Structure 1
Amino acid sequence: MKRLLLVATTALSASLSIAPLNAQTTDSAAPATSAEETSGGIEDIVVTAQRRSESLQNVPIAVSAFTADQLRNQGVSNTLELGRFVPNLVSMNNTGIGTANAFYLRGLGNTETIPTFDPPVGTYVDDIYLSRQNANNINLFDVERVEVLRGPQGTLFGRNTTGGAVNVILKEPGNEFGGFAELGYGRFDKKVARGSVDIPLADTFAIKVSGYWQNDDGYVKNVTTGQRLNDDDGWGARLGIRGELSPSIRWNGSYAHIIANGENILNFQCNPADPTDCKGRFATTGIPSGKSSEDSPFSTLPITGRKKNFLLGNYTTTDLVTSNFEFDVADHTTVSLITGYVSQDQTYALDFYDGRSGPSLANPIPPVRGYERGGFAILTDGQHEQFSQEVKVNGRLADGLIDYVAGAFYLVENNRTDFADTFTLSPTTTLVLADRLLRNKTEALAGYAQVDVNVTEQLKLTAGIRYTDETKTLDVHDNRASCNDGTLEATCLDTSNLVGPSGLAVPDKLKAKLWTPRFAVNYKVTDDVLLFTSATRGFKSGGWNARATAANAFLPFGPEKVWSYEAGIKSDWFDNRVRANLTFFYADVSDLQTPSALVNPNGSATFITRNFADFTNKGIEAELTVVPVDGLHLYVNAGYQDAKYKIDRDAPDFDEYGIQSVAAQQRACQALLAAGNIPGGTGTTAACGAGIVTPEGEIADPTRTPNWTVAFGGSYELELGSSGMSLVPSINASYRSSQETNAANYTIYSGGITGTNGTYPSNPYDGDIITGSFSPAAWFVNANLALNGADKKWQFSVSCTNCFNETAANTSLVNTRYIDPPMTWMARARYNF
């Protein structure tokens, strides 16, 4: 399929280059228009949040949109960094994997990359959905704009958008020859090269060739191996094609090839081997870094496949093919054929314990060991392929009374994941906890329609609906020799052995058929003031707990469903000098999917994901932009949210698979506490500080839902006399209040404690934080200073990210805290031609 699509793209490109073509400019191809060019006001961004081109201020959806210039001025070079500018958005790398982003939007997110899990914040590139978040930390080297849609988008964007969507729109080839070239150098010996060129080959046919390359040493020093870790290396190239076959037929297509090598390996502010050394970032794992070697420390273990030769690191290769044919079939009616193909390969060996055992009350700071096989390591060799086809119709009826968008969508995804978990007890003893081959497939069909009735020039009523029919299948095979000798023991992790603790067999097929409607009312008070309210349904697919290392824990979980209600205002004031957008929301989520993990008595980890509870979140989001004088741009974005779990107090003590309900678990925990037990100590880890029950026996606060997120800053373009040159300083500050980063809110604090189940050198209640879930409030500051040449033909700039070297944690795993990167700086030179 991959070769077929590439051949078809190449052949079509060649045919377009010699066909008789006619010039035509369409709304969908038009670049964003800057109101500043005509009125000196705020930029008016054209977005496609409703699957058609509209002004941002006319869209009745909570959308944060950024043009390429805004992204550059705010120091945003990849999608991960959007989390510091969008209200109620928390973004972080998945634990260990620097190429993977986990977005939490209004409290809904997912930290898993195993393909039996789907992210509830969808990532799209030119209308193509990226099913996997293995490599969704997209380098923004050739974008037109980025849109972050807050709240469920289940009607027009489909499944797996219960939290929202990140929509990346790439630049199309221009009508004139031109482009840019950029070089940069920064901290940790980081080197960057970027470039793009538009090449018109005919009046109606043009191509764009763009690419980037980056390399750095990594900001973490491994004091055991002497190597540098957490680098962000890679390169990418893209060919974009735009042509008009006739006055009524247009085509946009592209092919991108991206190589990324990025890690987010556990590291510390102070050297664990020498706690007095706090100058830098440190790791102590003994696994040597690299891609693959026959001398890998895992090569002598009973592990199958090429993964046994992996070294410490994460590597991804992505091929992305997009194609969009547009046909004007009648007045005000356009049909789009949108085709996408995504291929992602990922290989990694990651140590999640820094060469040690997991922190616990009994052993809050495990000693440095430096074992060559690390501590708790996962070796993964994955291949993921996805094909999607969409037919979309945009039109207008009854002389403008009705605007509509409708379509049909098909997606098929095939995944193959060969992965093993190891836990090292001594220099000579390493347990292979599991070695299995997972194959799973998703096939989804959907039809959708949304109709806008323009009742008057001011009043618009909207109704939409989508029907999705989805089937997921699963096959798991245990790679261990004892499971392939002609007999299949009950302990083998094989599809036929997947049975819950109750004895109920786990299904190898999951089906979902759901309707996801949307209703909205828009009222234009004036041309510059829009009031809107809406109710929207969304759902996220179910799946299996594929991180399990035992057959009776490889359990299914059901779909996550949400109703979201919004009311807001979008407004421009004072001749486009002030823009104020405000949204109130309430989200009611049923069967929330919640990943959880805990430390076993031997120091290894157990993973479980269930529909533990329902979830509600209510809040407000405000975005204010001010241009008081020409050249000065100021902004404040703020979000407030109040999220809570809701559990079923009347649920049976055990579900059909034999898993204890949250209510029963909470009662068991409270009974242990009443008897004087210390949570997290002997005999309590299954009840207290597990799932979504806190060490205190309460229902936990949802993860990554800080009450407040605030971003503010600005830029000023200072003209340097009559030279045509300008100096542009900009600064951006962001704040988030405290948050919890693991499901059970389990944090280990300094200070010994004694209970009926023992005496421990640390406690789960209060004191100085040693490690765990709680992450205090944090501020971050980015700054940039740019010198522009006449007509902005060239630019020199110096920027810093996390300028004051603040430290915070947005994620954790089995009591370990993963902290954000340190301060970095970058000097760049850019030439536009």
Structure 2
Amino acid sequence: MKTITFKRSMCAVAVTAAMASMMATAIAQEQSNDEEETRRIERIEVTARRTVESIQDVPVAVSSFSDQDMERVGLGDITELQQRIPNTTLQVSRGTNSTLTAYIRGVGQQDPLWGFEPGVGVYIDDVYVARPQGAVLEVFDVERVEVLRGPQGTLYGKNTIGGAMKYVTRQLTGERELSLQGSVGSYNQRDIKIAGQTALSDNLYVGAAFASLNRDGFGEFVNTGDDNYNKELTTARINALWMPTEDLSVKFSFDTTEDNSNSRGGYRLTTSQITGEAPLNSVYDSKTAMPVDNLVETEGVSLVVDYLINDNWSFKSVTAAREGYTDTNIDFDSTELPTLNVPAIYEDEQFTQEFQLNYSSANFRFVGGLYFYEGEACGVFGTVLGGLGVTVENGGCVDTSSQALFGQGTYELSDQWSLTLGGRYTKDDKTADVFRFTYLGIKYPNDDAGDPLVTNSDFSAAADWSRFSPHASIQYRANPDLMYYASYSNGFKSGGVDMRADVSLNPDAQNPYDPEIVDTYEFGFKADLLDGRMRLNGALFYSDYQDMQVTVQRAVAAGVASQVLNAAEATVQGFELETIMQLTRNFSLNGSIGYVNAEFDSVAFFNPNTQQVEDVSNLWSFANTPETSANVGFVYEVPDLMNGDLVWTGNMAYRSETQIFEVPSMLDMDAYTLANTSLMWYSHSGSWQVGLHVKNVFDEEYRLAGYNFAAPRDAQGNIIGAGLGGEDTIVGYYGAPRTVSLTVGYRF
């Protein structure tokens, strides 16, 4: 196996070297042409401040990716953007293909359990997506994706304490369009994408898009033969735009996604305490004592009304509803025995209403409005300890009601100076019902197992919180191509109730935990240099956290003790740089680097074994937050090749050592680098396009997540007792191996 891997890597190096030589020759020839005129970097428009403006005019650290950017590199879903954004983690979370783990500058959501709030807000066309289930959005029929770093508490508000991701779908233009795209590739990849739109009348446009994405597994469940890490997903979207007058438009949208991919099995890092089996040969192989059935369904509907009142004032209403359902089976210990199995069902629904009032004049712009959110999230899961003959079942519901009043205005003091002030008042109300029962035997959710053996928890809790989150920034434009800004932002993430609470182990677990608060100070600049042939944007940031929420789980004699902590204090500081350079007319380089120093200053942790509150800040580190992340890439265009234009892209993305949980463990990942390259050919007619995409060129093996319920060990690392359910459960989940895909598309 090692010899084959080595030979493949050497082959990849040889191919890359040959391609680099070809590119160098072509660039040299291009530069020798005295009549060559180097292009300026194109203007990028974003809506980071709820109005359309150049990314170079926005005093916010924001990265934007157009549909063409993502098409050229063959981007599959939003998690692949992690490689191109500094200080950002976007990953698939453990046991399913569709659940998102998102962190920006050290802030995110480790635990995707219902009732917990994300730290990074995900928005689909201005509609907030409250739950991480189904939030791994596929890239299709999309206009652009924007990622805003740092608290966005004024304009985006709810749970954007780390930042926000905006997924902007393709706009309806009334043009008659139809595009077909098919892809085949490694592991029997078979993808189909169809999108189109037309005008039914002068003022009524409709559009639709559909995608079926399929792939065999990277590995298998060796004891059952089922695929592991496979993909079986369909998604669709329908839009309609009605413009009864020049000043009024109404847009309707509906989207639905169904993921029938198998639940994912983890790779055991240690020998089983029960079976004595050593780790398997491939990190994509696993074993299971459960069915691999898995279903994740999400759908949403929205109605957006835009009304231009006059030359200065406009009004916008965004009404939306979303719901999701997950039914999954996760074998935590990844053996053939039912030692530590977790079947789970999640359900959620939400309704949101936002009213915006916008004002714009020669020297003043304002956005303000009201926001309402109503949501219910329910679930039930079992911790099946087959070796002990018991099942611990957790379940309950949490209802959330949130209202906010927000406003932000920018006043141009002079041609060079402008001042932005804003604020958001938020009030959250939560009511939760939580139960935790212990049953004899193996019990799945909704099974009738009679009366429980033990009632660990059965309580209701309610709490409400309110917060005013201010924002202030000053912007100085030194010249038309250089802007500096300094800002202060306050972020607010709602409190809640631990839906895993075990009152029998920790009596305080039924008490609601407090909101998380952050104060962030940022200094940045945005520059267009070399007569518009180079763009360089940078930011320095410092964040002061109070009551930072951290979810921890510990295996104890009676099961798993869960606790949501409000860490007393934490600080995060660092910097980010992003650049693009148009070296010649047809060759450009792009790159980014992020550095973050995140530390817990104090953490009050209740130890269920000692029944004491301990300060463990010297033992903890931030999860999913590598100190350094960097990316370098290129785009090289070859015009007039075979009646079309060829575009060659490539990038290398680096992430330093990453700790998976707050406490160090065997799951922590060493530094790694991923390389990708693509060739895209576009016909001169604009009808045909062909793409060849190679991802993870050197077949790097890298771990993204895992479960850590390790058996007790001595100072030398020797196991000195039985782990949870009698097993030493340390299992990892991994990113995709090297894949090659061929895509052919046609536009009518």
Q: Normalized against structure 2, the TM-score is what?
A: 0.86
2:290 to 287, 292, 306: 287
Per-residue CA deviation, residues 433-484 of structure 1 (Å, 9 max, x unaligned), is 22x4311100000000101111112111000000001101101245778999
TM superposition shift of 1:215:
1.4
Is 1:796 the equivalent of 2:690? yes
TM superposition shift of 1:91:
2.1
- In structure 1, what is the Cα distance between the partners aligned to 2:599 and 2:279? 41
Aligned residues of 2:438 and 2:452 also touching (Cα < 8 A): no
- In structure 1, what is the Cα distance between the partners aligned to 2:682 and 2:364? 47
1:322-401 aligned at under 5 Å gives the runs: 322-355=302-335, 370-371=336-337, 373=338, 375-397=339-361, 400-401=362-363
TM superposition shift of 1:486:
12
One-letter identity of the residue aligned with 2:382: A
- In structure 2, what is the Cα distance between the partners aligned to 1:121 and 1:245? 37
Q: Find the counterpart in structure 2 of residue 501 from structure 1.
A: none
1:563 to 510, 519, 536: 519
SS at match of 2:457: coil
Structure with the bigger percentage of strand: 2
1:433 to 386, 392, 415: 392
Q: Find the counterpart in structure 1 of residue 232 from structure 2.
A: 233
Is 1:407 the equivalent of 2:366? no
- In structure 2, what is the Cα distance between the partners aligned to 1:547 and 1:40? 57
Q: Find the counterpart in structure 2 of residue 776 from structure 1.
A: 670
Aligned residues of 1:270 and 1:282 also touching (Cα < 8 A): no
Q: Find the counterpart in structure 2 of residue 296 from structure 1.
A: none
Q: Find the counterpart in structure 2 of residue 421 from structure 1.
A: 383
SS at match of 1:60: coil
SS at match of 1:80: helix
- In structure 2, what is the Cα distance between the partners aligned to 1:203 and 1:484? 59
Aligned residues of 1:42 and 1:579 also touching (Cα < 8 A): yes
TM superposition shift of 1:789:
1.7
Task: Tell which deviates more after alignment, 205-214 or 38-47.
Answer: 38-47
1:532-547 aligned at under 5 Å gives the runs: 532-547=485-500
CA gap of 1:726–1:465, structure 2 versus 1, over 3 A, is same
Per-residue CA deviation, residues 395-417 of structure 1 (Å, 9 max, x unaligned), is 125xx232100000000001221
Is 1:265 the equivalent of 2:229? no
1:593 to 538, 549, 569: 549
Per-residue CA deviation, residues 337-359 of structure 1 (Å, 9 max, x unaligned), is 1111101111111112112xxxx
One-letter identity of the residue aligned with 2:619: I
SS at match of 1:208: strand
One-letter identity of the residue aligned with 2:281: C
Q: Find the counterpart in structure 1 of residue 428 from structure 2.
A: 470
One-letter identity of the residue aligned with 2:704: N
TM superposition shift of 1:605:
4.4
1:577 to 516, 533, 539: 533
- In structure 2, what is the Cα distance between the partners aligned to 1:818 and 1:132? 21
CA gap of 1:625–1:264, structure 2 versus 1, over 3 A, is farther
- In structure 1, what is the Cα distance between the partners aligned to 2:565 and 2:594? 29
Aligned residues of 2:296 and 2:326 also touching (Cα < 8 A): yes
Is 1:627 the equivalent of 2:582? yes
CA gap of 1:179–1:320, structure 2 versus 1, over 3 A, is same
Aligned residues of 1:268 and 1:281 also touching (Cα < 8 A): no
Per-residue CA deviation, residues 516-561 of structure 1 (Å, 9 max, x unaligned), is 0100001111122111110000111112222345555444321110
CA gap of 1:822–1:274, structure 2 versus 1, over 3 A, is farther
TM superposition shift of 1:277:
6.8
- In structure 2, what is the Cα distance between the partners aligned to 1:150 and 1:256? 27
One-letter identity of the residue aligned with 1:535: Y
Identity %: 26
1:305-320 aligned at under 5 Å gives the runs: 314-320=294-300
- In structure 2, what is the Cα distance between the partners aligned to 1:607 and 1:485? 24
One-letter identity of the residue aligned with 1:571: A
SS at match of 1:568: strand
Aligned residues of 1:346 and 1:382 also touching (Cα < 8 A): yes
Per-residue CA deviation, residues 92-141 of structure 1 (Å, 9 max, x unaligned), is 22221221111111011112222221110010000000010011000111
- In structure 2, what is the Cα distance between the partners aligned to 1:740 and 1:486? 42
TM superposition shift of 1:424:
2.2
Task: Please report the RMSD computed on the Cα atoms of aligned residues, expressed in angstroms.
Answer: 2.7
TM superposition shift of 1:208:
1.0
TM superposition shift of 1:490:
7.4
One-letter identity of the residue aligned with 1:582: G
TM superposition shift of 1:180:
1.3
TM superposition shift of 1:489:
8.8
Q: Find the counterpart in structure 2 of residue 165 from structure 1.
A: 164
Aligned residues of 1:126 and 1:167 also touching (Cα < 8 A): yes
Q: Find the counterpart in structure 2 of residue 706 from structure 1.
A: 626
CA gap of 1:830–1:487, structure 2 versus 1, over 3 A, is closer
Task: Tell which deviates more after alignment, 42-51 or 279-288.
Answer: 279-288
1:169-180 aligned at under 5 Å gives the runs: 169-180=168-179
One-letter identity of the residue aligned with 1:442: T
One-letter identity of the residue aligned with 1:258: T
TM superposition shift of 1:61:
0.2
Aligned residues of 1:172 and 1:242 also touching (Cα < 8 A): no
TM superposition shift of 1:621:
0.2
TM superposition shift of 1:575:
3.3
CA gap of 1:338–1:171, structure 2 versus 1, over 3 A, is same
Aligned residues of 1:270 and 1:277 also touching (Cα < 8 A): no
- In structure 2, what is the Cα distance between the partners aligned to 1:343 and 1:154? 24
Aligned residues of 1:491 and 1:550 also touching (Cα < 8 A): no
Task: Tell which deviates more after alignment, 792-801 or 705-714.
Answer: 792-801
- In structure 1, what is the Cα distance between the partners aligned to 2:111 and 2:606? 26
Aligned residues of 2:213 and 2:232 also touching (Cα < 8 A): yes
Aligned residues of 1:593 and 1:609 also touching (Cα < 8 A): yes
Aligned residues of 1:787 and 1:795 also touching (Cα < 8 A): yes
Q: Find the counterpart in structure 2 of residue 127 from structure 1.
A: 126
Aligned residues of 1:172 and 1:208 also touching (Cα < 8 A): no
Aligned residues: 677
- In structure 2, what is the Cα distance between the partners aligned to 1:659 and 1:560? 25
SS at match of 1:742: coil
CA gap of 1:786–1:339, structure 2 versus 1, over 3 A, is same
Task: Tell which deviates more after alignment, 446-455 or 804-813.
Answer: 804-813
Q: Find the counterpart in structure 1 of residue 472 from structure 2.
A: 519
CA gap of 1:643–1:570, structure 2 versus 1, over 3 A, is same
TM superposition shift of 1:720:
3.5
One-letter identity of the residue aligned with 1:423: L
Task: Tell which deviates more after alignment, 165-174 or 590-599.
Answer: 590-599
1:606-755 aligned at under 5 Å gives the runs: 606-647=561-602, 660-663=612-615, 666=616, 698-721=618-641, 723-745=642-664, 747=665
TM superposition shift of 1:270:
11
Unaligned runs of 5+ residues in structure 1 are 1-37, 291-313, 356-369, 497-507, 667-691, 693-697, 748-771
Aligned residues of 1:126 and 1:322 also touching (Cα < 8 A): no
- In structure 2, what is the Cα distance between the partners aligned to 1:430 and 1:481? 9
SS at match of 1:414: strand
2:483 to 527, 530, 547: 530
TM superposition shift of 1:797:
1.4
One-letter identity of the residue aligned with 1:416: C
TM superposition shift of 1:74:
2.6
CA gap of 1:488–1:403, structure 2 versus 1, over 3 A, is same
1:785 to 679, 703, 708: 679
Per-residue CA deviation, residues 632-657 of structure 1 (Å, 9 max, x unaligned), is 23101110111110117xx7x979xx
Is 1:75 the equivalent of 2:74? yes
One-letter identity of the residue aligned with 1:421: T
Q: Find the counterpart in structure 2 of residue 300 from structure 1.
A: none
- In structure 2, what is the Cα distance between the partners aligned to 1:454 and 1:730? 40
Aligned residues of 2:600 and 2:622 also touching (Cα < 8 A): yes
Q: Normalized against structure 1, the TM-score is what?
A: 0.77
1:86-97 aligned at under 5 Å gives the runs: 86-97=85-96
1:444-523 aligned at under 5 Å gives the runs: 444-477=402-435, 491-495=455-459, 508-523=461-476
CA gap of 1:724–1:524, structure 2 versus 1, over 3 A, is farther
